[in-house]
Amino acid sequence: MNIGQVDALLLAGGQGSRMGGVDKGLQQLGGRPLAAHALERLRRQQGDRLAGCMVNANRNLDRYQALGWPVWPDARPDFPGPLAGFLAGLEQASSPWLLTVPCDSPLFPLDLLERLAQAAEREGADLALALGRDEQGRLRRQPVFCLLRRELADSLRAYLRAGGRKIDDWIQSQHHVAVAFDAPGDDPRAFFNANTLAELHALEIGL
C-alpha cells in the first residue's frame, strides 16, 4: 500500500476548560500563538507527502484564518471533543489520508508524518497513531496525533451520531497501528501539551 499525499489538520476546537476557558490555540508562546507554532511544525515535516494544512476551530475563526490556512468548525455543535474535529477534517480533505495534531503540543516530531505513514503502509492499516512519553516518562498512546484514511468518515460519523465520544474506543474499533516515538534521538518532550497556564509557562521556559 502506498499512502501518497496527505492533508494535515490542526485541532484547535476545544473549550480550553483546564486553561480557564480560553482559546488555547491563540495563547502566546514566545510571542506567537500556539497554533502558529504547530502549523510551522507541520510545514517542516520530513518527506514530500504533505499536500496542505487546515485548522479545526470553533471560536475566533477570523484570527485562525489570519494564520493562512482554511478553517473549519466542528461537524457537530456541542463540543463533543477531538473526534468532531477529526470528522470535520475528513469531510473537507481532498487527499486520501489526513494527519491530525493538536494546537497545544508545538514540539511534536518533524518526522511524525513519515513514521506514521511508513507504519500504516507496512501494516496495511487504516489508521496510525503515535505512542509518546508523558510527563512522568511513561510511554502512552497519543491518539490526537493520528494518520487516518478519509474513508473512515462514515464510521466516525455513525459513532458520533450514536453518542460515542471516546477517541480511544473509536480508534480501537478500526484496523490501526501504534507507532512508538522512543528511539534514541527522539525528544522526550515531543508530545508535551500545554493544558494549563502552568504547563504553558513551563513550555515557555523550555524553549
Domains of the chain (ranges; CATH) run: 6-206 (3.90.550.10)
Residue 200: its pLDDT value, please? 66
Report the C-alpha gap between 147 and 160 in whole angstroms. 19
Summarize pLDDT for 60-112 with one digit per residue, the tens: 999 999 999 999 999 776 666 899 999 999 999 999 999 999 999 999 999 99
The sheet with strand 139-149 has its strands ordered as 71-72, 50-57, 6-12, 97-102, 139-149, 127-133, 176-180
17 exposure class (CB count in 10 Å sphere: 0-12, 13-18, 19+): exposed
Residue 113: its pLDDT value, please? 98
Residue 23: its pLDDT value, please? 87
pTM to 2 decimals?
A: 0.93
Q: What percent of the chain has pLDDT over 90?
A: 73
Report phi then psi at 44, rounded to 5. -90, 5
Interval 49-58 mean pLDDT: 95
Residue 204: its pLDDT value, please? 65
Report the C-alpha gap between 128 and 113 in whole angstroms. 10
* pLDDT band at residue 21 using 50, 70 and 90 as cut-offs: low
Report the C-alpha gap between 152 and 125 in whole angstroms. 12
* pLDDT band at residue 205 using 50, 70 and 90 as cut-offs: low
Residue 192: its pLDDT value, please? 87
Residue 66: its pLDDT value, please? 96
* pLDDT band at residue 58 using 50, 70 and 90 as cut-offs: very high
Residue 153: its pLDDT value, please? 97
**Residue 197 in this model has a pLDDT that exceeds 90:** no
Indicate the helix (H) or strand (E) that contains 161: helix 153-161
Summarize pLDDT for 153-191 with one digit per residue, the tens: 999 999 999 999 999 999 999 999 999 999 999 998 899
By residue count, the chain amounts to 207
Report the C-alpha gap between 25 and 174 in whole angstroms. 29
Report phi then psi at 133, rounded to 5. -80, 140
- Strand 6-12 versus strand 97-102 pairing type: parallel
Q: What percent of the chain has pLDDT over 70?
A: 88
